[in-house]
Amino acid sequence: MLAKFEDRPPRGLPVVHGFLALLVSHHSGKVLPEIGHAVGDAIDKYYFAGERDIRDIKKNPEEFAALVARELKENNIITDEEKAKQAILRGLPTIIRIAEKLWPENHNPEHLEKASNALDEGVEDPIHILKQAGIDIEPELEEFRQFLAEISGKKVKKKSVPSLPTSGSGTSTDLREANLEVLSILRALKFVSYSGEAVDNAIRELEEKIDEITGLEEPSSQDIYRLGLYYLALSYVRKGKFEKAERVFRNL
């Protein structure tokens, strides 16, 4: 566990620990204290291999994700190491952005104290406290919340978001969820510098989403709208138009 760290812990890793344990819990469908221990042990190994922190994770997320997945497999928490690794890779970009906001590059003590105070046990509205301190992680938290819902196969009640233009009986919520799914995939690709394996995985994932809808006997208008988004994203990814894809879906 991260309790092994002495004095000032390495930048951002305690934040990564908490969010990553939550990700694994949703991915595996298990709520076990062993998950937190295994993730903590993996992070310990990562750090003590060279005093690394979130900057190093950004440089080589594949190595970090593989290490965590291997630790989870060895502790019998997951059975499919590769699937766990891919889920971790998809969630890491959002987790890292949260960690960077809470734990800035310059290790500003005042900033860290404000973040710590806002997240103390017993604080009723930490997001509001963080905003007052000039730290806004609400967009990332909502993105992570939707990602957790996606990987656990559950629907969550969304917070109010700006309406998206729709036609027919399609709803802005359906489009927003599909858009967040696509953005999560695109940002994960960017995080691993659009590696060949990651692109193949993204194509396969988008194709699976398309197959799910085309396999429906009576797809609804909402399904059709989502299908269009997935096809558009797939076209961009296949053509290597990654930056254009992210720009388009970010502005939807």
Residues 228/235, Cβ–Cβ less than 8 Å = no
pLDDT at residue 246, rounded to an integer: 86
Q: Which two tokens stand for residue 52?
A: 């690394």
- Do 28 and 116 belong to one domain? yes
- Tens digit of pLDDT for each residue in 176-215? 778 888 888 888 888 778 888 888 888 998 988 888 888 8
Angle at 125 between CA 120 and CA 130, to 5 degrees: 70
- Do 68 and 172 belong to one domain? no
Arithmetic mean of pLDDT, 105-125: 60
pLDDT at residue 162, rounded to an integer: 37
Q: How many domains does the chain have?
A: 2
Residue with tokens 């919340």: 145
- Do 211 and 123 belong to one domain? no
Q: Among residues 127, 150, 173, which one ends one of the domains?
A: 150
In a domain? residue 83: yes
Domain that holds residue 49: 2-150
CA distance 148 to 94: 11
* Residue 130 vs residues 98, 117, 136, 232, 251: alpha-carbon distances, Å: 12, 9, 6, 37, 26
Closest by Cα among 139, 143, 166, 169 to 156: 143
* Residue 123 vs residues 117, 126, 133, 214: alpha-carbon distances, Å: 8, 6, 14, 46
Cα 20 from chain centroid (whole Å): 9
- Tens digit of pLDDT for each residue in 21-69? 989 998 998 888 899 899 999 999 999 998 899 999 999 999 999 999 9
HSE on the CB side for 182, CA within 13 Å? 31
pLDDT at residue 120, rounded to an integer: 54
Taking the whole predicted model, whether its pTM rises above 0.85 is answered as: no
Arithmetic mean of pLDDT, 90-95: 94
pLDDT at residue 89, rounded to an integer: 95
- Tens digit of pLDDT for each residue in 116-158? 665 554 555 666 667 766 778 888 888 888 888 888 876 555 4
Q: How many helices (H) and strands (E) does the chain have?
A: 12, 0
- Do 87 and 173 belong to one domain? no
pLDDT at residue 95, rounded to an integer: 92
In a domain? residue 226: yes
Name the phi and psi angles at 17, rounded to 5. -55, -55
Arithmetic mean of pLDDT, 6-28: 82
- Do 125 and 197 belong to one domain? no
